[in-house]
Structure 1
Amino acid sequence: MFDDLVTRATLAGAGLSLATGPLGCFVIWRRMAYFGDATAHAAILGVALALAMDLPVTLGTLVVALAMAATVAGLATRGWAMDTTLGVLSHSALAFGLVAVSYFPTVRSDLSVWLFGDILAVGRGDLMWIWIGAGLVAALIAWRWQALLTATLNEDLAQSSGLNPARERLVLVIALAVVVAVALKLVGALLIAAMLIIPAAAARWLSRGPEAMALLAVLISVISVVLGLQLSLWQDTPAGPSVIVAAAGIFAVLGLVFGRSRG
């Protein structure tokens, strides 16, 4: 049974990596780290609303994450000072979510699961939805890859090429919301952004082009899941944070080895 839990957790982490790898690259290229935090923190409010309306938690988190992402994207197009706005929205969403969850004693007792995740508690049904959600995000990014890349590099160039930068931004917003919904149980609301950013940042040390960076980000993310789960079993540490610790370790090692050669 224990081996079965680890196998499911590894498969869940690998499935999530298919989406977080390439999406994390766009988060870095577009400097959307705080954007990811705001969307992930809003997921806690989605948990409370789903329970209040007797809906599946994944559906509740997806709806709220989409609403938060769309709000942030809309404010960005209107020229708001996004560093301050994102800071306010991110922490306010988390605070509102924690207050709302406090009205549900059963959820309050398991609050650490929603904040930090519990990848070892993933069931077969969860595994199916994780792979479906992550697969859809990966397929969406692959389909819109060139358009997303062009809009990321230069919006004026994208417009002159017949692309709509706002539409490509919406694609990323939808992808981010789906990833938040499927990743909440694995790494928790406080660590989803780390799962997006750290493997992609580590891949940047090794890659020479955007496609290579996306593929390496997926690989590093999968390796982080495997190493993090082994660390969790060895030291009896929380599984979700242990995955992020492993990713941070890989980033540090690659930075020390390859950062000097590039510098």
Structure 2
Amino acid sequence: MLDDFLWRAALAGVGVALSAAPLGCFIVWRRMAYFGDATAHASMLGVALSLAFSLPIFPGVLCVALLMAITVSSFSGRGYAMDTLLGVMAHSALAIGLVAVSFLSGVRLDLMAYLFGDILAVSKTDLLVIWGGALVVIALISMRWSGMLLSTLNKELALASGFSPRREQMILTIALAVVVAVAIKVVGVLLIVAMLIIPAATARPFSRTPEMMVLLAAVLGSTSSLVGLRTSYVFDTPTGPTMVCIAALLFVIASVLWKVMDKVQREKGSVMESEYEK
């Protein structure tokens, strides 16, 4: 089965979706979209350094993404607004990475594959790295679920319960770096955050509990990956961007459906209130 490139691509897409779902929910809850964007953009510098020193891409991207996330966390609140700091760091890291790549001689590099992903070229080794990273992220968040959730909802309550918000933030940072490192092959530097945020944002209105939101985001992310892969194969379009387009389409459909349901619910409530007054 793994000898078929489409099966490898499908498994890679599902692996990224499963790892991105819980993390994407925390990014939505904490309003950290720009933070994730900065970490993802920094991964291009990791690609350049890995190629320059003839190292595997995964550890290079992981180290640089983690360094970026820790740096941003350390400098926030020290004279700079968070959005300003993230904007400077994100675009600077991306630009430095692209310039550094241009200086590499004797290295065959498909820049578009790193910017927008090349899921159809996923090898068995890449698949092992993707699913290994996904399992690490899922295990990390599962073990720290209560602390991360309490720190997200109320820092004072988390402290009172014996959890350190700073430590939980660091765990979230590590998980984000791992997801960026495993997803770069699938959707690329510029689209990683889209696969983190869009399924979680789509699931949010229909979820009554945080756990339900994570599960629904995982289903939506996996659906976007598989449907996007099939659509790309049929219409001969770029696979990574097509997957994000499908995720965006699901978000639009879910938003319209939610508004219709909300309107019907309000009208039903008005009718019941009128009958009660009579």
Conserved 8 A contact 1:117-1:240: yes
CA distance in 2, matches of 1:36, 1:196: 9
Conserved 8 A contact 2:76-2:85: no
Tell me which residue corresponds to 1:127.
Answer: 127
**Distance 1:72-1:214 versus aligned 2 partners, 3 A rule:** same
The 5-angstrom pairing of residues 24-39 of structure 1 reads 24-39=24-39
| Number of residue-to-residue matches in the alignment | 263
> CA offsets, 1:204-251, max 9 Å, x none?
121111110000000000000011001101110010111100100101
The 5-angstrom pairing of residues 27-66 of structure 1 reads 27-66=27-66
CA distance in 2, matches of 1:108, 1:257: 47
Conserved 8 A contact 1:101-1:107: no
Conserved 8 A contact 1:46-1:63: yes
Tell me which residue corresponds to 2:156.
Answer: 156
| RMSD across aligned positions (CA) | 1.6
CA distance in 2, matches of 1:259, 1:72: 37
Shift of 1:155: 0.7
Shift of 1:105: 5.0
**Distance 1:106-1:127 versus aligned 2 partners, 3 A rule:** farther
CA distance in 2, matches of 1:2, 1:15: 14
Percent identity at matched positions?
57
Shift of 1:80: 3.3
Tell me which residue corresponds to 1:224.
Answer: 224
CA distance in 1, matches of 2:2, 2:172: 37
CA distance in 1, matches of 2:3, 2:199: 26
Tell me which residue corresponds to 2:243.
Answer: 243
Conserved 8 A contact 2:2-2:124: no
Conserved 8 A contact 2:50-2:60: yes
CA distance in 2, matches of 1:67, 1:155: 24
> CA offsets, 1:144-180, max 9 Å, x none?
1111000000111111111100000000000000000
Tell me which residue corresponds to 2:7.
Answer: 7
User: Match of 2:58, as an amino acid?
Assistant: T
Please identify, of 222-231 and 105-114, the stretch whose mean Cα deviation from structure 2 is larger. 105-114
Tell me which residue corresponds to 2:267.
Answer: none
- Say whether residues 1:177 and 2:192 are aligned partners: no
Conserved 8 A contact 1:65-1:177: yes
State the secondary structure of the residue aligned to 2:163: coil
Tell me which residue corresponds to 1:88.
Answer: 88
Gapped regions of structure 1 (runs ≥ 5): none
User: Match of 2:158, as an amino acid?
Assistant: A
> CA offsets, 1:93-138, max 9 Å, x none?
1111100111125667510000000111101110011000011001
The 5-angstrom pairing of residues 61-140 of structure 1 reads 61-76=61-76, 78=78, 80-104=80-104, 109-140=109-140
**Distance 1:123-1:245 versus aligned 2 partners, 3 A rule:** same
- Say whether residues 1:22 and 2:9 are aligned partners: no
CA distance in 2, matches of 1:3, 1:53: 30
User: Match of 1:187, as an amino acid?
Assistant: V
User: Match of 1:134, as an amino acid?
Assistant: A
TM-score, length-scaled by structure 1: 0.96
Tell me which residue corresponds to 2:270.
Answer: none
Conserved 8 A contact 2:2-2:8: no
Tell me which residue corresponds to 2:274.
Answer: none
Conserved 8 A contact 1:69-1:177: yes
Runs of 4+ in 1 over 3 A off after TM superposition: 77-80, 105-109
